[in-house]
Amino acid sequence: MKSRQDDAGLKAEALPNLWRNTLSQIPSVFGRLVYLSSLRNVNNGRYEHHGLTLLFGEDQANKALRKSHASVFAVWLTFNLEQQKADLELYFSGLTEDARTVLETWAKLAPYRNLIPSTVRGGERRVFAGDLTALLQTLRNAHGVADSDPDA
């Protein structure tokens, strides 16, 4: 039978466990953003990860994922446009779909809007959206992807 101290020690390990066993395996910061945002329940805003929940409990898993999402987002914002472009290209290189297909789909659906952590406000949201819009336009031009708006 585990003591309370054992449980506290396990719970304190949720964040390093997440980074050691999962996030460190994702080579791009943008890929980490995509992964972490995919774990956020769109109906209640809580992060859900079966393995972390089994090991550390629902609340600790949610906190570790929320904190990691905010941290990864903050790292992305520290990148200049050249670094963001390189990281985004690294992300694309790991996908099974080709970049052209992804860019065409993103132009129509804008799924990247869901990558922003819920704790991020005003200015940082605008910086992220502006940088990503510029990067995606540059990449669409490079890959010969037409704008999604025929009147553009």
Burial of 109 (0-12, 13-18, 19+ CB in 10 A): exposed
Residue 147 has pLDDT above 80, yes or no: no
Residue 25 has a CB neighbour count (10 Å cut-off) of: 11
pTM, full prediction = 0.86
With beta carbons less than 8 A apart as the criterion, state whether 99 and 92 touch.
Answer: yes
The one-letter code for the residue type at 73 is F
Using pLDDT thresholds of 50, 70 and 90, give the confidence band for residue 146.
confident
Residue 151 has pLDDT above 80, yes or no: no
Percent of the chain with pLDDT over 70: 88
Residue 32 has pLDDT above 90, yes or no: yes
- What single string gives the DSSP state of each residue in 77-132? HHS-HHHHHHHHHHHHHTSSS-HHHHHHHHHHH-GGGGGS-TT--HHHHHHHHHHH
